């Protein structure tokens, strides 16, 4: 009986649901500002993508190359990025609209600590933050997860057991 290969979009969906659930839990418990807990989300992504690569190689009985496994891992990453960006937009605009105000409030407190800034500079910086928050959140998500996903996929592809039985021209 032939083993059914779990598609990368399914693994990306599961991984994104785990990270989104974790981020919602952090937000609802008011721990979203804790940097240490925020790194747990990256650890989940790292472990999930590496596991995805290793699992794919096992499903293929090791008949894969580094490139095959890396591509699978990056497809998982691409799915994760798309779903996370959609969640980010929905969370800031619909689910948690007060999130923007909370972020601005935290930024204002941090700027007040800097005695070199005048009130006008603080006000204009906060206005710019509010204006460009969504593009920066989306861009940061795409860039951050792309880099992190590529590194994770490379690690997963390097770790996965490979013993391709065919030449690249036969594939």
CA-based end-to-end distance of the chain:
21
pLDDT given at position 171:
52
DSSP-based three-state secondary structure for 8: helix
Long-range contacts of 17-20 (CB under 8 A, 24+ apart): 17/83, 18/44, 18/48, 19/44, 19/45, 19/80, 19/84, 20/83, 20/84, 20/87
pLDDT of amino acid 106? 83
The model's pTM is: 0.84
3-state secondary structure of 161: coil
What pLDDT is attached to residue 150? 96
Residues of the chain predicted below pLDDT 70: 1-2, 164, 166-171
Hey, CA dihedral for 91, 93, 95, 100, is it positive or negative? positive
Is 71 exposed, middle or buried, given 0-12, 13-18 or 19+ CB atoms closer than 10 A?
A: middle
The pLDDT score that the predictor gives to residue 109 is 82
For tokens 């105000």, the residue is 101
Model pLDDT, residue 50: 96
CA distances from 170 to 62, 164, 165 (A): 16, 11, 10
SS3 content of the chain, % helix, strand, coil (to 5): 75, 0, 25
Q: Give SS3 for 2.
A: coil
Q: How does pLDDT run across 61-70, given as a tens digit for each residue? A: 888 999 999 9
CA angle 80, 84, 87 (to 5 degrees): 145
Show me where the domains of the chain are located. 8-96+140-159
């Amino acid at each position: 009986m032939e083993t059914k290969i779990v598609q990368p979009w399914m693994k990306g969906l599961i991984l994104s649901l785990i990270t989104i659930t974790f981020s919602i839990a952090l937000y609802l418990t008011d721990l979203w500002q804790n940097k240490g807990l925020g790194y747990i989300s990256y650890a989940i992504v790292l472990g999930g993508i590496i596991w995805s690569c290793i699992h794919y190689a096992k499903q293929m009985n090791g008949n894969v190359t580094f490139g095959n496994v890396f591509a699978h891992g990056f497809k998982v990453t691409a799915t994760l990025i798309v779903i996370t960006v959609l969640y980010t937009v929905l969370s800031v605009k619909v689910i948690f609209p007060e999130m923007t105000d909370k972020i601005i409030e935290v930024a204002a407190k941090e700027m007040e600590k800097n005695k070199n800034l005048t009130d006008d500079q603080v006000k204009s910086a906060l206005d710019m933050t509010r204006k460009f928050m969504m593009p920066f959140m989306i861009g940061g998500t795409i860039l951050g997860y792309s880099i992190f996903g590529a590194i994770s996929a490379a690690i997963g592809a390097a770790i996965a057991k490979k013993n391709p039985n065919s030449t690249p021209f036969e594939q």
